[in-house]
Chain A
């Protein structure tokens, strides 16, 4: 198989403001973010011939193309796994570009995630007791965070992980958000604040949970050759992987999801080479377990690893430098990918000096970008 390493790059990024109540349609938010990303790249809407979206995004590609005045869409696609689709979108864009199906591809996410349907209340992922949900929802397992809480409880039992260690992740994200004017939660917090925040689903506190928000983000992806002639410093896509859990008996086994670490081999780099990481933080336990999955530390050592400022700016592994889902906005991995590009351009509000390699975890996948 021919490698697609470094064959494509992210050349444009765009975001709306993040808010608690946009007062706008998700379509309007999507179009604003896409328009900004295209302008950022120095392109025009007519240059775009591909759109890839999250399968949970209700707007159709034809509608968006009509609004943008794109006359011919030669590639359109979508990826599943709800909010975890991020890396899969980028992968589809890369595949479309290297096979000649498209030239310049937009990927995006737009949500009224706070003023509209709430993921945190099971309003999007709830299945009304159908299928496998017949064996979970009647027992009160409704929202994604409850599963995270159950996994966290088992991790605590097996490895001695503590709630305060989870709190260190929330504190780090907030510290970074404090520097970011786009972030919705900017007041610094302490471990005590984390411990004193109300319990939502024990063992998780409110500050272990992402901040649901309204907003949109978009990327423009093109070939490396074209990227070099465009306005911005390209963020080259070294590798992407997709990894959905499957099979088995539903135990909290990380075998499937930990397949994400294959992104390092695909990119030809190792975890220790990463200058900064952006990890999908809908709930703090998933961040801690992802750090283990990627091999930044051994299984079970995630708790001690995140303590003592290691994941804060200036530490050994700065994480979620925009504030992430916990403090900037819950934009389902799109804001993590945008922040990764900013780090490589040198324009983050929590810039890691000279950042050259960034890992982005998008829940059901991962990508590595380089300068």
Chain B
């Protein structure tokens, strides 16, 4: 089956995917100015430091925006549509592209609270996805 592209692990993002495998969501933080960033990159866009550390995210956020792909415009989407791709604004502030599971695409709304879940895809790759938040707010 020709699926969607899987993430290609490289030295910039290996820590992130290793954490996903442990079912932990981590974010990269600048070692100098402590600004969080995502996706992982070799340099801080604020202070240009090339040192960084990994911090655990609480995995909670809100839907910033979303697109529901209806037509299988790529071979990897055949059998997967309608597919909701979402941009989640994590509580830590960064935007995170993912999918929503556990709710119909037409139930998704901007500002809806969501929380991370992990989907083991291959031996190496676990993808972080989001489901409607089960936690009571407040």
> Is there an interface contact between B4 and A247, defined as CB atoms closer than 8 Å?
no
Could you tell me how many residues of chain B have their Cβ less than 8 Å away from some Cβ of chain A?
A: 41
Label chain A's interface by main secondary structure. mixed
A154 vs B66: C-alpha distance when bound (angstroms): 8
* Interface flag for B76 (CB, 8 Å): yes
> Is there an interface contact between A126 and B67, defined as CB atoms closer than 8 Å?
no
Q: Which of A58-66, A131-139, A236-244, A333-341 contacts B (4 or more CB under 8 A)?
A: A131-139
B10 contacts across to A, CB distance below 8 A: 130-131, 134
Please give the distance in Å from A146's CB to the nearest CB on chain B.
5
Q: List the count of A-B residue pairs having beta carbons below 8 Å apart.
A: 123
Could you tell me how many residues of chain A have their Cβ less than 8 Å away from some Cβ of chain B?
A: 42
Given contacts A142-B73, A198-B71, contact A250 B65 (CB under 8 A): no
Chain A proximity mask over B54-86: 1 for CB below 8 Å, otherwise 0: 000000000011111111011011001011010
Task: Return the chain B residue nearest A129 by Cβ.
Answer: B5
> Is there an interface contact between A137 and B4, defined as CB atoms closer than 8 Å?
yes
Chain A proximity mask over B31-47: 1 for CB below 8 Å, otherwise 0: 00000011101000100
* Interface flag for B95 (CB, 8 Å): yes
A154 vs B76: C-alpha distance when bound (angstroms): 26
A137 contacts across to B, CB distance below 8 A: 4-5
> Is there an interface contact between B67 and A142, defined as CB atoms closer than 8 Å?
no
A200 vs B105: C-alpha distance when bound (angstroms): 14
A138 vs B7: C-alpha distance when bound (angstroms): 6
> Is there an interface contact between B67 and A201, defined as CB atoms closer than 8 Å?
yes
Chain B proximity mask over A34-66: 1 for CB below 8 Å, otherwise 0: 000000000000000000000000000000000
> Is there an interface contact between B65 and A249, defined as CB atoms closer than 8 Å?
no
B13 contacts across to A, CB distance below 8 A: 134-135
Which of A120, A134, A139, A151 contacts B8, CB < 8 Å? A134
* Interface flag for A150 (CB, 8 Å): yes
B7 contacts across to A, CB distance below 8 A: 129, 134-135, 138
> Is there an interface contact between A142 and B66, defined as CB atoms closer than 8 Å?
no
A250 contacts across to B, CB distance below 8 A: 95
* Interface flag for B110 (CB, 8 Å): yes
Please give the distance in Å from A157's CB to the nearest CB on chain B.
5
Chain A residues numbered 115-166 whose CB sits less than 8 Å from any CB in chain B = 120-122, 126-143, 145-147, 149-151, 153-154, 157
Which of B5, B45, B64 contacts A138, CB < 8 Å? B5
A200 contacts across to B, CB distance below 8 A: 69-71, 73
